[in-house]
Chains A and B, each alone.
Chain A
């Protein structure tokens, strides 16, 4: 297994977070976000690193990393476009937004564009129902994490153009492991 280390800055951030809680485990969710920002996704190595950092069992970290939808267990593109598909957005054209993006990016839901720039996913309610249809764009390094609301095809084109020009920090390279992972699907 590759040995990963947090950068000194991340270590300091985590140490600071720990002071805000009565125990280290409470920092698990924020620490996984920091790890994801640094390493690009929550790999098996990241799970062991976070477990070691917070003195908790790796199985617990993996439970948390797989329970929440915002942790990526596989590599993703520079930007994850998360289209809300729940009822209020669906009533106002979420499906059209998805179809438009699929055509424009030449991917299906769940896939990453060939140039590694965009990963397209459909997500559940983002509490932006009054400004539907909408999506959230999260940069892999968390340098951007914004809502784009009241979408039209023209607006989507503009957003994609802006994002194409915007750089994202490359994540530390990691080799995926062969593991016991079972996978639900």
Chain B
């Protein structure tokens, strides 16, 4: 545990810590381009040069390991001049095309110019011209003039995606990032190179020219594309989401996310949204108010219990739902109504995904909360018993939450559902099957909640956009129904979470507001018999 001094501040760090990490840990800004905590050290940008006493030359903070009694200066005149020099060199051949550059507003060149340079360039000779706006893969476009050869993208493809498509070709000032002939940047993680490009050389084709960065607000979120649950942020302006970016989370996704996950918001927020509660008879759709809809549902459930017993009601849960929703769903059907015909999993499948599973981040389970279903709902059951009951004509009312059940039933849906008197659909999207009563709900980006990923990490996600139409959060829907059954019900996601944390063994001590930005891992995820 060496103790060193950085800008007069005493810092004690783990053995092996680099100066740049020690400085950042102490709240001291050391600028950098090529360094990235998730990649090997290249040491090529020279922006992190610092002065270390007893060393004749400035040292790069990213490749210097802290030692005891080291005295580091990050703000000396020598250091400032070196930074200014690096900035000026990087600008020597860099186009001043910020007005048409997508990176503007979140560009390290711009930021550091304001912090460390602020001088007009002395370069009067012709700048080196290079290729601009070259698509190098389905999702990424390259501008060679903006490239500063930091090699982050090359290292990402070598070390993280393992796909090794990119190289820096030629030498000296003729360099450019390129691909071998006949290949393209088309790995499942390709957009990460646009994220980690510190300048506007690599940009995301899907996001390109859609919105200036400074108009965007980032909302903390979690990817619902698979059971990894990558920490993300959703960039929003005017109630519209423009892109998904990964957030750093060492215990879940490090610094990355897959390309498929970037576009989940389009699928979820996109077409086929339900906008108002309705009753349906064939093609005849009648919009109704929420109170009427909930009253009608309650009445049907009550009557069915009374006339046929609780098991005549079947309910299909959703591992796309949040922990809080699952908890209340379970309470409603298991405890308040008392039916045994409750299915947990109603998976969304991997249709439409580029990759089913890999060794990096992507999990085969394309649902964000299968673990939550088990832990928060004790719903480790699949739909087989329930389908059997429907086949036997024992189910009078079927409540389907989410759209996973469509996949479970498949082609059999019309014939099977004929045997059920009332089919209720609770969800955000138009169901594929018959539904007599439809209760429209929000998707994750429109509400707050938590998910439990495959490894038992409980993460909080926030609301990025307001829902359109007369839709409600599932937590409210299930709570309203609970109250109609005479049970107490928490108001809102936070209260629902706290209630679950108190009631369920293994979750004691979990706090909705205490999950932080990266979540809390449940020490032992209870494994229940299925």
Q: Assess A/B contact in the complex (Cβ within 8 A).
A: yes
- A residues at B contact (CB < 8 Å): 1, 44, 47-48, 51, 57-63, 66-67, 177, 179-185
In the complex, A12 Cα to B169 Cα: how many Å?
29
Q: Judge whether B169 and A179 touch: CB under 8 Å.
A: no
Q: Judge whether B180 and A48 touch: CB under 8 Å.
A: yes
* B130 contacts partner chain A, Cβ-Cβ < 8 Å: yes
- B residues at A contact (CB < 8 Å): 128, 130-131, 134, 136, 144, 164-171, 173-176, 178-184
| With A57-B164, A59-B167, A182-B131 as contacts: A44 and B182 at CB distance below 8 Å | yes
Q: Judge whether A58 and B180 touch: CB under 8 Å.
A: yes
Majority SS at the chain B contact face:
loop
Q: Judge whether A66 and B171 touch: CB under 8 Å.
A: yes
Chain A contacts for B181, CB-based, 8 A: 1, 44, 47-48, 58, 62, 177, 179-181
Distance (Å) between the CB of A175 and the closest chain B CB? 12
Distance (Å) between the CB of B165 and the closest chain A CB? 6
Chain B contacts for A62, CB-based, 8 A: 167, 169, 178, 180-181
Q: Judge whether A183 and B131 touch: CB under 8 Å.
A: yes
In the complex, A185 Cα to B176 Cα: how many Å?
11
In the complex, A58 Cα to B157 Cα: how many Å?
13
Q: Judge whether A177 and B180 touch: CB under 8 Å.
A: no
Chain B contacts for A51, CB-based, 8 A: 180
Q: List 13 A-B contacts (CB under 8 A).
A: A1-B182, A44-B180, A44-B181, A58-B183, A59-B166, A62-B167, A66-B171, A67-B170, A177-B182, A180-B136, A180-B184, A182-B144, A182-B176
Q: B174, B175, B178: which contacts A180 (Cβ < 8 A)?
A: B178
Closest to B166 in A: A59
In the complex, A63 Cα to B180 Cα: how many Å?
9
Chain A contacts for B184, CB-based, 8 A: 180
Chain B contacts for A177, CB-based, 8 A: 181-182
Chain A contacts for B164, CB-based, 8 A: 57, 59-60
Chain A contacts for B175, CB-based, 8 A: 184
Chain A contacts for B144, CB-based, 8 A: 182
Q: Judge whether B180 and A184 touch: CB under 8 Å.
A: no
Distance (Å) between the CB of B383 and the closest chain A CB? 46
Q: Judge whether B174 and A185 touch: CB under 8 Å.
A: yes
Q: B134, B136, B171: which contacts A67 (Cβ < 8 A)?
A: B171
Q: Judge whether B182 and A48 touch: CB under 8 Å.
A: yes
In the complex, A146 Cα to B173 Cα: how many Å?
30
| With A180-B134, A183-B131 as contacts: A61 and B180 at CB distance below 8 Å | yes
Q: Judge whether A179 and B182 touch: CB under 8 Å.
A: yes
Distance (Å) between the CB of A129 and the closest chain B CB? 22
Chain A contacts for B165, CB-based, 8 A: 57, 59
Distance (Å) between the CB of A138 and the closest chain B CB? 20
Closest to A61 in B: B180
| With A184-B130, A184-B173, A185-B174 as contacts: A60 and B182 at CB distance below 8 Å | no
In the complex, A184 Cα to B128 Cα: how many Å?
8
Q: B171, B178, B180: which contacts A182 (Cβ < 8 A)?
A: B178
Distance (Å) between the CB of A7 and the closest chain B CB? 23
In the complex, A62 Cα to B171 Cα: how many Å?
12
Chain A contacts for B179, CB-based, 8 A: 59, 180
Distance (Å) between the CB of B433 and the closest chain A CB? 47
| With A44-B181, A179-B182 as contacts: A184 and B176 at CB distance below 8 Å | yes
In the complex, A44 Cα to B169 Cα: how many Å?
13
Q: B131, B166, B170, B173: which contacts A66 (Cβ < 8 A)?
A: B170
Distance (Å) between the CB of B404 and the closest chain A CB? 40
A sample of 5 more A-B contacts (CB under 8 A), given A67-B171, A184-B170, is A47-B181, A63-B167, A63-B169, A179-B181, A184-B175
Distance (Å) between the CB of B61 and the closest chain A CB? 27
Q: Judge whether A181 and B178 touch: CB under 8 Å.
A: yes
Closest to A44 in B: B181
In the complex, A66 Cα to B171 Cα: how many Å?
7
Closest to B163 in A: A57
Q: Judge whether B166 and A182 touch: CB under 8 Å.
A: no
In the complex, A66 Cα to B176 Cα: how many Å?
11
Nearest 9 pairs between A and B by C-beta? A184-B174, A58-B180, A44-B181, A59-B167, A57-B164, A179-B181, A63-B167, A182-B131, A66-B169
